[in-house]
């Protein structure tokens, strides 16, 4: 009885600020735009069949695969490389700096990076200035649907690669040097050591990074909203939920999108919790 007494403030806090909002959002998702009439699964049918919503899911899938893969691969590569340089701490600090910047500030920075002027005009954006300097044509990065999502993902990768590098580097430091020295004595090349020794021993750390990046890719909002506001085919689940709520004033559809986002994240969280429990055991 005494443990429950001590836990009651935390449980009340969770009930008021987590459980109640989730239940209420699920309830509103079955209502019409102004929550005055029950419409059943109409909002979910809209989410599942509307062409714009299908584009939203496609964009999130692109973030899920490309963003996660690039962050993990670059983080792993940089962790291994910085571990070999003389000024390791300085190099890692320089790469980690983007994580110290707010996502909104980073989005503003990358908007300046992607500034576009028509061909023949001086380019003030770094990306287009580099392209023109190399003999190419400037690209309207944020208003061209064929490249806008890739431009946003590049900004996200820049933000999160430092985080992945630091986490993976910590795991790399935990690998006993005796194991790698034994592999070298047995005649293994550096690539073989990386593939057959380092990667298997880093698997738990890589799983943590992959799960974290998966969750971030599903709920990405700041970069997309600040840089494009979801226009030009860049809408994702979180920005669409925001627009349905505050632009279209359709609480039912916004709540349905929120529930779908929750359902997409919960399995990933459960996998992570189960893995933590298994490792703890």
Tell me the C-alpha to C-alpha distance, in Å, between residue 147 and each of 51, 59, 109.
20, 12, 18
2 in any annotated domain: no
CATH number for the domain spanning 144: value is 1.10.3720.10
Which residue range(s) make up the domain with 234? 27-280
98 in any annotated domain: yes
Ramachandran region, residue 117 (left: φ > 0; alpha: ψ -120 to 50; beta: rest): beta
List the end-to-end C-alpha distance of the chain, in Å, as a whole number.
Answer: 27
- In the chain, how many domains are there? 1
DSSP summary character for residue 123: P
| Cβ(61)–Cβ(235) below 8 Å | no
pLDDT in single tens digits along all 281 residues of the chain:
778 888 888 889 989 998 999 999 999 999 999 989 999 999 999 999 999 999 999 999 999 999 999 999 999 999 988 888 888 888 898 999 998 888 889 999 999 999 999 888 888 899 999 999 988 889 999 999 999 999 999 999 999 999 999 999 999 888 888 888 888 888 888 888 888 888 888 988 998 899 999 999 998 999 999 999 999 999 999 999 999 999 999 999 999 999 999 998 888 888 877 877 776 65
123 in any annotated domain: yes
15 in any annotated domain: no
Biggest CA-to-CA distance, the chain: 76
7 in any annotated domain: no
201 in any annotated domain: yes
| Cβ(19)–Cβ(236) below 8 Å | no
Predicted TM-score (pTM) of this structure: 0.89
Between helices 145-173 and 103-113, what is the axis angle to 10°?
A: 130
62 in any annotated domain: yes
Nearest to 143 by CA among 158, 161, 125: 125
14 in any annotated domain: no
């Amino acid at each position: 009885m005494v443990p429950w007494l001590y836990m009651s403030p935390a449980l009340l806090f969770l009930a008021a600020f987590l459980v109640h909002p989730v239940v209420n959002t699920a309830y509103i998702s079955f209502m019409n735009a102004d929550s005055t009439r029950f419409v059943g699964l109409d909002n979910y049918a809209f989410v599942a069949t509307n062409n714009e919503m299908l584009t939203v899911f496609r964009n999130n899938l692109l973030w899920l695969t490309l963003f996660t893969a690039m962050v993990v691969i670059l983080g792993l590569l940089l962790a291994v490389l910085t571990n070999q340089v003389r000024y390791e701490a300085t190099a890692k600090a320089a790469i980690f700096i983007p994580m110290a910047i707010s996502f909104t500030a980073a989005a503003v920075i990358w908007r300046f990076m992607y500034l576009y002027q028509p061909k023949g005009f001086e380019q003030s954006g770094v990306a287009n200035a580099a392209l023109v300097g190399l003999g190419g044509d400037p690209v309207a990065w944020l208003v061209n649907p064929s490249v806008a999502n890739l431009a946003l993902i590049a900004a996200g990768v820049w933000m999160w690669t430092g985080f992945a590098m630091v986490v993976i580097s910590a795991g790399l430091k935990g690998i006993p040097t005796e194991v790698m020295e034994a592999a070298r004595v047995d005649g293994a090349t550096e690539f073989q050591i990386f593939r057959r020794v380092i990667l298997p021993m880093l698997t738990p750390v890589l799983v943590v990074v992959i799960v974290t990046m998966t969750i971030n890719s599903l709920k990405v909002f700041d970069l997309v909203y600040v840089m494009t506001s979801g226009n030009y085919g860049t809408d994702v689940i979180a920005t669409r939920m925001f627009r349905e709520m505050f632009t279209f004033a359709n609480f039912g559809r916004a709540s349905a999108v929120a529930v779908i986002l929750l359902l997409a994240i919960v399995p990933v969280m459960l996998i992570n919790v189960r893995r933590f429990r298994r490792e703890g055991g």
